[in-house]
Amino acid sequence: MQLISISTKYWAVFILAVVISACGGENIESEQAAVPSETRLSVVTTVSPITNIVENIGGTRIRLEGVVPEGVNSHTFEPAPSMARLMAQADLIILNGLFLEEPTLALAESNKKSDAVILSLGELAVTPEQWKFDFSFPKAGGHPNPHLWPDPNLGLSYARLVYDQLVILDPGNTDYYSANLDHFQVKVTQMDQAIRTAVATIPEGNRKLLTYHDSWAYFAQQYGMEVIGAVQPSNFSQPSSREVAALIDQVKDLDLPAVFGSEVFPSDVLESIANEADAEFIDDLADDDLPGQPGDFEHTYLGLMKKNMELMIPALGGDADAISVIDIGNVFDGNSGAVYPQ
């Protein structure tokens, strides 16, 4: 009976994908003539998932440049002094916030135009009562886990906040931004439903995550999973021998089939934990490094979610087929010229 239930949900997701594909054929760009680059809002962003969320809403009506190179540690990234000029030219500077990009925020505050807006998404998407604290982000440090976007529902909250600010700064393009947001919302809803379908196929006892850097606290809460630990301490040092031994025992006791590393944070320690506990080591989950290269179809926020789910779900004993039908492409037509530093 369970297999029939899952199959029914899968076909529901598939049908929704077909509908979305048909909607995606609408030419949003054709509704208005292309806007000359020099007249567009200048928008600066930080990490690539946020850059792509902003790109999907702003499309070809904004000039967009991310500043944190993909595949680097966004917590410790130090922007070059030359980036001050970019900040000084921006009309809108969008950050994740929640203490993720403090050096970049300081540079923006010191160099922005008097009428430029700094939009900190995390503080607006969740309240302090909803903040998550864990091994990598202990409550005693006062800095909550800032990785909201792995929960696509919070990614959609980011998109709505971006839309609200773009409409304030550029009301003449409200219809365009609104159409993009509508299409993006449909795609994110599809992704949310597919993840729920896929997670339901994981044996209940396996719905647990041991990671190196904890980027999955908000995701886990949303989808009925549990983060049982993160190897990386809050100061980005190596965990102690006692902490490693405790994690090995925990993985063994729970009989977890897999533990998860990161493309950004390679970890011999986590690999050793996996080996000692006889678990598979998946070392290429990505927090903010989009798949492929800029310009590739899969180089999107939803592409990042799809890739991570296709790695995570089968490793824990589930079926990720529901994810495979997701349309992960950008919602707007044309080339926005958005810059994703590599």
Provide the CA 336 distance to its chain's centre, in angstroms.
Answer: 20
Burial of 30 (0-12, 13-18, 19+ CB in 10 A): exposed
Q: What pLDDT, on the 0 to 100 scale, is given for residue 232? A: 67
Is the separation of the CB atoms in 277 and 269 below 8 Å? no
Q: What pLDDT, on the 0 to 100 scale, is given for residue 14? A: 44
Structure tokens at 165: 């600010």
* Kind plus residue range of the DSSP H or E element containing 177: helix 174-199
Q: What pLDDT, on the 0 to 100 scale, is given for residue 291? A: 96
Residue with tokens 């135009």: 113
CATH entry 3.30.420.40 includes domain 196-324: no
DSSP string across 235-263: TS-PPPHHHHHHHHHHHHHHT-SEEEEES
Burial of 168 (0-12, 13-18, 19+ CB in 10 A): exposed
Is the separation of the CB atoms in 186 and 61 below 8 Å? no
Answering whether pTM is above 0.85, one says yes
Please report, in tens digits, the pLDDT of each residue of the chain (342 residues total): 333 333 444 444 444 444 444 444 444 444 444 566 778 999 999 999 999 999 999 999 999 999 999 988 888 899 999 899 999 999 999 999 999 999 999 999 999 999 999 999 999 999 999 999 987 788 998 999 999 999 999 999 999 999 999 999 999 999 999 999 999 999 999 999 999 999 999 999 999 998 877 899 999 999 999 998 877 666 666 777 888 888 889 889 999 999 988 766 556 888 888 889 999 999 888 888 999 999 999 999 999 999 999 999 999 999 999 999 999 999 999 999 999 999
Is the separation of the CB atoms in 202 and 316 below 8 Å? yes
Alpha helices in 81-169 (DSSP H): 83-89, 102-111, 121-125, 152-169
Q: What pLDDT, on the 0 to 100 scale, is given for residue 79? A: 93
